[in-house]
Amino acid sequence: MTSFVDTHCHLDAPEFGDEAPAVQARARRAGVRLGVIPAVGAFNFDTVRELAHRQGDVYALGIHPLFTPKAQQADLQTLARALRAQLDDMRLVAVGEIGLDYFVPELDGPTQEHFFRQQLVLARDLELPVLIHVRRSVDKVLRHLREVGRGRPWRGIAHAFNGSAQQAQACIAQGLKLGFGGAVTFERALQLRRLAAELPLQVLVLETDAPDIPPHWLYRTQAERDAGQPQGRNEPAELPRIAQVIADLRGMPLQALAEATTRNACEAMPRLAHWLDVVEAPCEPAQQGPARGQESRV
């Protein structure tokens, strides 16, 4: 069976309730061998870690920009302690979800930039990859990556990338892979579909951002939602169908895309290889030296 890695899925989200085991079972049947479950704040650090261990997935710890309004400076200290305490846990694969969001107008720019910057420093210090939220913020994210990175490449992913071709190249130059998911399934997403088709294969990774960013076959229009139809809930089992859209855009076999994006995910988060080897996934060690160092979670 063709196998996939979902590099970004919030399986602890309230939308799933107590269905996480069933969601995971559907994902495994669909060929999704591993999911990366990112935290969004100090309040769910333990939750994502325990869920990843219980379900055989992996996790990341970080403070999401949408949750910075309620975050405290002490939460950064909590994050540092949690990362150091779990540093030998091979299921801990990255610092995330962190980043910047300039789509939500109520978010305070300096506050979220402070939290992002401090988490980048922590990731460098602990030599961990980063999972970065880049919604309408790519240029600002890049500035912080350059300043904290001081010329050294990063490991990690620009999650749910939806920027320009120039911004894509700038993220790649910083060492990041680019995450593609449900948004690419919409025919009107012309720029995003062009990037999915034309960017070098070695920079693409797959993700769902479940339960968010549903693909077009799950999406409900505003009129449908007003009429009482619930928004479609995304989940990792949708990943192979999303991947097929990308494979078709690139004119390549689905199996080849699955193998390449699995290798790319391992390059972005090298600890994935430890778990994917167990299921004989096509994963290769990265060549680049290690980097040092309910709202929507889109």
Tokens representing residue 221 in the block: 């229009």
* CA nearest neighbour of 283 among 93, 117, 118: 93
Q: Using CA atoms, how far apart are residues 107 and 115, in angstroms rounded to an integer?
A: 12
Q: Inter-axis angle of helices 190-198 and 165-173, to 10 degrees?
A: 40
What single-letter DSSP state applies at residue 221?
-
- In a 13 Å sphere around the CA of 118, the CA atoms on its Cβ side amount to 21
Q: How remote is the C-alpha of 197 from its chain's centroid?
A: 20
User: Is residue 278 packed enough to be buried (19+ CB in 10 Å), middle (13-18) or exposed (0-12)?
Assistant: exposed
DSSP string, 259-292: HHHHHHHHHHSTTHHHHHTTTT------SSPPPP
Tokens coding 156: 């990690």
Q: Which structure tokens are listed for 148?
A: 């904290």
Binding site for a divalent metal cation, by residue number, is 8, 10, 97, 133, 159, 209
Residue type at position 289: G
Q: Which residues are known binding-site members?
A: 8, 10, 97, 133, 159, 209
Q: Report yes or no: 238 and 208 within 8 Å, Cβ to Cβ.
A: yes
Q: Please provide residue 281's backbone torsions phi and psi, each rounded to the nearest 5 degrees.
A: -75, 150
